[in-house]
Amino acid sequence: GEGIKTENIRPLYGIDEISRLDAAGQKVLVDFAKRERFQLLFAAPELKPSYSCTLYNLKRIFTPEAKLIIRASRFRPKAEPVAA
């Protein structure tokens, strides 16, 4: 194969404890990342986004052997009703 082209590589930035920011603050970071073409990795015990994103849930299981289970969920904001 031709391998990975440099123009297809997007930097990845990790942010821990993102749940300390409110939904509006999280969305500002997401919009900025989209505009500047980089990826964000948010670490939080729980996250309920109000913006479009893919969430990955990582769960470690250590018995009887070590395993890592990864589940992906895509979120899309609900459309606001239009006033008549």
Please, what sign has the CA dihedral across residues 18, 19, 25, 26? positive
Distance (Å, whole) CA 62 – CA 1 = 38
Tokens of 30: 């997401």
Coil, strand or helix at 67: strand
Alpha helices in the chain (DSSP H): 23-36
Distance (Å, whole) CA 42 – CA 26 = 9
Q: What is the pLDDT of residue 8?
A: 74
Backbone angles phi, psi at 75, to 5 degrees: -115, 140
Place 73 in a pLDDT band, splitting at 50, 70 and 90. confident
Place 81 in a pLDDT band, splitting at 50, 70 and 90. low
Q: Mean pLDDT in the chain?
A: 81
Q: 28 versus 79: which is more confidently predicted?
A: 28
